[in-house]
């Protein structure tokens, strides 16, 4: 799931720290493209919380292996929060969406796919959205934007594409409503 972005970094004349494989637009290591484990291993930084009351010498200056709650999100925390937002949007989409809602959603998803801060994730997502079978076309009979059910299934398929890429098990999209709208049925 990681890509070697050293070329971009070199173009900008930045030194690339060992272990960094994804850089951001400024040629700096991209936090939101990297898991915290990789990030911590790469920087070998002592992580201290500024909210801790203890003096720095004895405070929680541990080499963290999981993301502390008050740190910027890594690729995983960002992904989890983002999927929560996207699936909740899909689960509360109108059962039959009027044309203007459909157009709005297409615009939102197109912009989202371009501004998602993990740019390597965003590029793959854009490619998935461009496949003919995944295209969002407002007003299309039986299209993905027609209503809550079809849009939820589209979103579920999008997430499963990432799950497959990361070697995770696929989610059963028949249970989408339960997971994201009604809660589990008994």
Task: Identify which of residues 64 and 75 has a Cβ nearer to ligand FAD in the complex.
Answer: 75
Measured between alpha carbons, how far is 25 from 12 in angstroms, rounded to an integer? Answer: 9
Measured between alpha carbons, how far is 131 from 112 in angstroms, rounded to an integer? Answer: 17
Task: Identify which of residues 87 and 144 has a Cβ nearer to ligand FAD in the complex.
Answer: 87
Task: Identify which of residues 60 and 77 has a Cβ nearer to ligand FAD in the complex.
Answer: 77
Which H helix or E strand runs over 147? none
Quote the distance between the C-alpha of residue 113 and its chain's center.
Answer: 10
What is the nearest approach in angstroms of ligand FAD to the Cβ of residue 13?
Answer: 27
The angle formed by the CA atoms of residues 30, 35 and 37, to the nearest 5 degrees, is 120
Task: Identify which of residues 61 and 128 has a Cβ nearer to ligand FAD in the complex.
Answer: 128
140 forms beta bridges with none
Contact residues: ligand FAD, CB under 6 A: 1, 75-76, 79-80, 82-83, 87, 116, 120-121, 124-125, 156, 159-160, 162-163, 165-166, 171, 176, 179
What is the nearest approach in angstroms of ligand FAD to the Cβ of residue 86?
Answer: 6
| Torsional sign, CA 78, 126, 106, 135 | negative
Q: Which residue is nearest to ligand FAD (CB)?
A: 79
């Amino acid at each position: 799931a990681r890509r070697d972005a050293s070329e971009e970094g070199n173009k900008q004349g930045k030194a690339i720290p060992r272990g960094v494989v994804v850089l951001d637009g400024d040629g700096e290591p991209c936090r939101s493209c990297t898991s915290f484990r990789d990030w911590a291993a790469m920087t070998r930084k002592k992580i201290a919380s500024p909210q801790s009351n203890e003096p720095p010498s004895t405070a929680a200056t541990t080499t963290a292996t999981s993301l502390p709650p008050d740190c910027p999100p890594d690729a995983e925390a960002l992904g989890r929060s983002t999927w929560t937002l996207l699936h909740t949007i899909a689960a509360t989409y109108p059962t039959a969406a009027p044309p203007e809602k459909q157009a709005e959603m297409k615009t939102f998803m197109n912009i989202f796919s371009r501004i998602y801060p993990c740019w390597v994730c965003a590029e793959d997502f854009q490619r998935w959205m461009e496949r003919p079978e995944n295209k969002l076309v407002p007003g299309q009979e039986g299209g993905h934007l027609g209503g809550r059910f079809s849009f939820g299934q589209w979103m579920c398929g999008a997430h499963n594409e990432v799950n497959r890429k990361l070697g995770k098990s696929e989610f059963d999209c028949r249970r989408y409503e339960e997971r994201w709208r009604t809660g589990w049925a008994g």
